[in-house]
A and B are shown apart, each in its own frame.
Chain A
Amino acid sequence: MSNEAALIEAARSGSAAAFTELVSAYREGLLRFLLTRSSNFADAEDALQDTLINAYRYLHSYDARWRFSTWLYRIAINNAARQKTVDTVELGDLSDDSDDPLRQCIAASERENLWLSARRSLTNEVYAAMWLRYVEDMSIKDISAVLEKSVSWTKVNLMRGRKTLDAEFNKVATDEKSKAYG
């Protein structure tokens, strides 16, 4: 039995310490992802807390055929979506930069962070698919399970997302070149 499987078993039988250890490797990644989907930092933290509590409470429903991170992200996305219906804030509506938690957490750089462009130009689901693919290294099958979409939907939308971001990326590169040459 792997260490993760042993921790899951211990957590299932009511060990909060085992669960804390189990999720310690995923917490920062989840918070980073939730930050990109929340209207402020406190909401992202609340969403992380709800995600972990729900995961602990319903750990019996976790199917070991899937990666544990796949299951955690499914819960996180549900929590973020629920929070959004309460707050009614869309990703693209974050016009005030000072409140935008993603902007606050991005290190100052000359070039715009591609995830900011992604948030502006992609829908929530395509954005999530792109994040899971390129940051979390998830397989197409896992992404479709997290987003509850078909494999073909995931493939098509990842391709569309890539195309959109590729255009943004190339545009930035061209702008930088033209600036350099005056």
Chain B
Amino acid sequence: MDKLAKQLRDDAHRIKCSVSEELDDRIRASLEGVQPEAGQRLRRESRSSSFWWASSLTGVVAAIVAIAFINWQVPASGPDSTESNPQPLAIPTIQWHTETAVLTSPLEQEFEDLQADLKKAEEAVKQDIDRLF
């Protein structure tokens, strides 16, 4: 162990502190009033499974009642299919006349300009290097 590490360890042990009896009692009392989460979770799980069954059963019963109610009501209030004879809707045809956009020429121009700029910059750098060395 090097000098600094030893000094750090010694100095930490020079910090005198201990858990007082009062704090010890306080901690013990607090711990007595707390239940570890896992135990609580188990209880919650067992409760939730019975709730799951109850809610599933309620849902199935509600669904059966709803289906029975709808089936009972449909013949009475349903529209008479023989009376209405809807005409087929005329779908308008759209003429798609498009022209091919010429987009390449401005880009080509820009590319040429950039290349020219690059050449100029390259020459400037070459000149600077020649001047320095």
**A residues adjacent to B (C-beta < 8 A):** 11-14, 16, 19-20, 27-28, 31-32, 35-36, 45, 48-49, 52-53, 56-61, 102, 105-107, 109, 113-115, 118, 130-131, 134-135, 162, 165-166, 169
Contacts and interface: CB of A to CB of B under 8 A. Distances in A.
Interface residues of B, number: 29
A56 B5 contact: no
A143 B27 CA distance: 27
Interface of B: 3-5, 7-9, 11-12, 14-20, 23, 26-28, 30-32, 34-39, 41
Contact of B36 (A12, A20, A28, A165): A12
B19 A28 contact: yes
B17 A16 contact: no
Contact of A60 (B4, B27, B30, B38): B38
Q: Which of B14, B26, B28, B41 is most buried by chain A, counting CB atoms within 10 A of its CB?
A: B14
Given A12-B38, A49-B27, A57-B37, A106 B32 contact: no
Contact of A105 (B16, B26, B28, B30): B16
B31 A106 contact: no
Contacts of B36: 11-14, 56-60
Q: Is the interface of B mostly helix, strand, loop or mixed?
A: helix
A7 to B, nearest CB: 13
A135 B41 CA distance: 37
Q: Is the interface of A mostly helix, strand, loop or mixed?
A: helix
B7 to A, nearest CB: 6
* For the complex of A and B, 7 pairs with smallest distance between CB atoms: A60-B38, A134-B8, A135-B12, A16-B31, A114-B11, A113-B11, A105-B17
A110 to B, nearest CB: 12
A32 B31 contact: no
Nearest to B6: A134
A158 to B, nearest CB: 11
Nearest to A27: B19
Contacts of B23: 45, 48-49
Contact of A58 (B5, B20, B32, B37): B37
Given A59-B36, A60-B36, A115-B8, A106 B30 contact: no
